[in-house]
């Protein structure tokens, strides 16, 4: 494997650094080998209500229609609150989706953790399954490059539904 990518800024945690990604924009890479089951980094941000999350989603869609950043940084915390990770200090927001991820997400006592699913070698890009619903995922093409990539950012539990949709009709325009 080649040398780890050059960092864009100082690392946010012992295990990771941010750098340009072959998947999409910027990504997060392992600085050293990360053991299976390690809490790699916390996904941080502003705790917001579901109503505020809906309002911010409308703003995001408007930015996307205008040709701006369409990235989603809002995580579901519980039935009443979400976490908006759109802050520069939240390096975890740069972790890209993959249909064959090397990390998983766990909400532990109200905090969102990115956890290694298996040993991750130094220099490897960290990825996790964003878990988007079929409706939401159809607006986001997947660029992960996995052997069995779904082509859309749709959670593993929803991917079987894609077989019912002709490939040419899967991706929807931004609403």
The structural domains of the chain, with segments of one domain joined by +, span: 131-175
**E strand or H helix at 76:** strand 74-76
Q: Which residues pair with 83 in a beta bridge?
A: 47, 75
- Encode pLDDT of 51-67 as tens digits: 999 999 888 888 888 88
Q: Which residues pair with 125 in a beta bridge?
A: 29
**E strand or H helix at 57:** helix 50-65
- Encode pLDDT of 118-173 as tens digits: 999 999 999 999 999 888 888 888 999 999 899 999 999 988 888 888 888 888 77
What pTM does this model have?
0.84
pLDDT value at 4 more than 80: no
pLDDT value at 68 more than 80: no
Confidence (pLDDT) at 103: 98
Q: What share of the chain is helix, strand, coil (3-state, %, to 5)?
A: 20, 25, 55
pLDDT value at 9 more than 70: no
Q: Give ∠ CA 115-106-53 in degrees, rounded to 5.
A: 125
Residue tagged 């369409």 (tokens): 70
pLDDT value at 83 more than 90: yes
């Amino acid at each position: 494997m080649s040398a780890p990518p050059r960092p864009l800024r100082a690392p946010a945690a012992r295990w990771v650094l941010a750098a340009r990604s072959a998947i999409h924009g910027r990504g997060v890479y392992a600085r050293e080998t990360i053991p299976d089951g390690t809490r790699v980094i916390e996904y941080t941000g502003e705790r917001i209500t579901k109503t505020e999350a809906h309002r911010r989603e409308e703003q995001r869609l408007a930015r996307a229609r205008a040709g701006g950043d369409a990235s989603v940084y809002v995580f579901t915390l519980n039935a009443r609150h979400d976490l908006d990770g759109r802050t520069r200090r939240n390096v975890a927001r740069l972790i890209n989706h993959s249909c064959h991820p090397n990390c998983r997400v766990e909400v532990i006592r109200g905090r969102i953790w990115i956890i290694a699913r298996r040993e991750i070698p130094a220099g490897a890009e960290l990825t996790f399954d964003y878990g988007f619903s079929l409706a939401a995922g159809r607006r986001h093409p997947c660029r992960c490059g996995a052997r069995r990539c779904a082509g859309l950012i749709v959670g593993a539990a929803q991917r079987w539904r894609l077989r019912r949709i002709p490939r040419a009709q899967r991706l929807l325009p931004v609403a």
